[in-house]
Amino acid sequence: MSPDIAISAHGLGKRYRRIVRDRQHNSLRDMFQAGLTDLFTSKPKRDQRAAREHFWALDDATFDIARGENVGIIGLNGAGKSTLLKLLSRITAPTKGTARISGRLGALLEVGTGFHMELSGRENVFLYGAILGMTRAEVQAKFDAIVDFSEIGEFIDTPVKRYSSGMYVRLAFAVAAHLDPDILLLDEVLAVGDFAFQRKCMTFARSLEQKGSTILFVSHNMFSIKTMCQRVIYLKKGRIAYDGPTDAGLKLYEDDSRLQVAHWFHDESDAPSVVFTDVKLFDESGRESSVFDFGSRMVLRARYKTFRRIELPDFRVGITRVDDVHCATFSSFTDQADVPYIDGEGVIELRTPPIRLVSDLYRTMILVRERGYGSILAAQVGASFHVRHPVFTPLAYGVYHEGGQWRLEDASQQARAGTSHGVR
């Protein structure tokens, strides 16, 4: 392994056993009867059962990461991102292949991992620091800096079982960061903190990079990935589909994300009621486009397929910035569109008012609710688009810009206005 390489993986893979349930047991009696039935009836051969019940969460991952690199690990849900970081951090052992780490490793993979719920924040700083490999003297020397970074000083002697998830991640990240690691692994933890703390953590991560630290960062927030990482590894179904410059990798991810179920949506029914099968964006002339000028209109057409009749459907199109800031939502129900029901296949079209969002990259989300504001039946990632304007940018103008009305009064006008109102 070259001294310039911080992480080297070769043929790395992890196989898990999937629990197969042919039937649902509602009571202990049902489970007992099912066990007796299996005991006295024929079963598939052991090898056939194993083939069905095992799957590769990660398979044949091979890559080298140089010292000082910031690398984003991206992929859809279940792609193997977290599994990869757990293998690299030695939390779990690989089924096959090897992973070599050169340097001091710090990992923040799950919020509060290593914390003891009954202990105070102060006590958990020392406990978590010891788990990460810091000596007591080292933790003591950095304690004030850790607490200051976490911004929860007034609660440092409170048991962590009373902490919010945001307080957990603040303290856990502060301890892991002050390990002064040669390699830092981050798994979606920044999504828990507020925006100001996320930016603070990214600034701190950049300072580690300037010191020569290597950072592997898993996130669904493509803005954070683009901000922090010069390179991405894109995982699809446990295998590396792309390893290279960030922009090209994010383009592949965006293309594959289209029409994927939103990562926050969980359909509790046995079968979906409706799905979107296609979504496209058009400009005012009817030409398909992904770039829109500020002030122009956008047309979104989404093709859907229902599996039952849905009464009073509320089609919604949400627009989020790439850093997951929610910018707008259009609702067919709120806009009083004439959609009494849907049944079978069809197309829903939204024509937006003039777009006043500032110049940036945005993503659409398409949803269906039943009976107006009822249950969400579907939530899928739509298409991405860019708003173009030479002046209106997020740094100077925020999220959107709408012209206001201005009027200037000089001192003499103010004096005359005061006199006319009886002011002496």
pLDDT score recorded for residue 184: 86
Comparing 61-65, 135-139, 260-264, 370-374, which segment has the lowest mean pLDDT? 260-264
Q: Which residue reads 């446990």 in tokens? A: 238
279 with 253, same domain: the answer is: no
325 with 180, same domain: the answer is: no
pLDDT at 306 over 90: yes
Residue 152 lies in a domain: yes
185 with 288, same domain: the answer is: no
113 with 51, same domain: the answer is: yes
State the CATH number of the domain containing residue 59: 3.40.50.300
pLDDT score recorded for residue 41: 53
Confidence of residue 51 (pLDDT cuts 50, 70, 90): very low
Residue 118 lies in a domain: yes
Confidence of residue 263 (pLDDT cuts 50, 70, 90): confident
Give tens-digit pLDDT for 327-348: 999 999 999 999 999 999 999 9
Residue 404 lies in a domain: no
Q: Which residues contact 61 (CB under 8 A, 6 or more apart)?
A: 9, 11, 12, 13, 80, 84, 97, 235, 239, 240
Rounded Cα gap, residues 306 and 302, in angstroms: 13
pLDDT score recorded for residue 24: 52
Rounded Cα gap, residues 43 and 33, in angstroms: 16
The two most distant CA atoms of the chain are separated, in Å, by 106
Q: Which residues contact 138 (CB under 8 A, 6 or more apart)?
A: 129
329 with 217, same domain: the answer is: no
Query: Which tokens belong to 4?
Result: 């310039």
Positive/negative CA dihedral, 194, 200, 204, 206: positive
Confidence of residue 210 (pLDDT cuts 50, 70, 90): confident
- Among 201, 226, 257, where does a domain finish? 257
State the CATH number of the domain containing residue 368: 2.70.50.60
80 with 196, same domain: the answer is: yes
Rounded Cα gap, residues 220 and 239, in angstroms: 18
247 with 362, same domain: the answer is: no
Q: How many CB atoms lie within 10 A of CB 48?
A: 10
302 with 392, same domain: the answer is: yes
Give tens-digit pLDDT for 359-368: 988 999 999 9
3-state DSSP call for residue 118?
A: coil
169 with 312, same domain: the answer is: no
Residue 205 lies in a domain: yes
89 with 229, same domain: the answer is: yes
pLDDT score recorded for residue 40: 54
Comparing 173-182, 201-210, 314-323, which segment has the lowest mean pLDDT? 201-210
Rounded Cα gap, residues 193 and 383, in angstroms: 27
Which amino acid is residue 325, in one-letter code? V
Residue 85 lies in a domain: yes
Residue 38 lies in a domain: no
Rounded Cα gap, residues 279 and 298, in angstroms: 13
Report the half-sphere exposure of 373 (CA within 13 A, side-chain side): 2
pLDDT, the chain, mean: 85
129 with 209, same domain: the answer is: yes
247 with 310, same domain: the answer is: no
Q: How many CB atoms lie within 10 A of CB 57?
A: 21
Residue 418 lies in a domain: no
Query: What average pLDDT does this structure show over 250-276?
Result: 86
Closest CA to 70 of 238, 185, 187: 185
Rg from Cα positions in the chain: 27
Rounded Cα gap, residues 110 and 8, in angstroms: 23
Positive/negative CA dihedral, 16, 258, 111, 69: positive
pLDDT score recorded for residue 34: 59
Total domains present in the chain: 2
Residue ranges making up the domain that contains 222? 5-17+45-257
- Among 202, 226, 257, where does a domain finish? 257
pLDDT score recorded for residue 50: 46
pLDDT at 46 over 60: no
Residue 74 lies in a domain: yes
DSSP code for 322: T
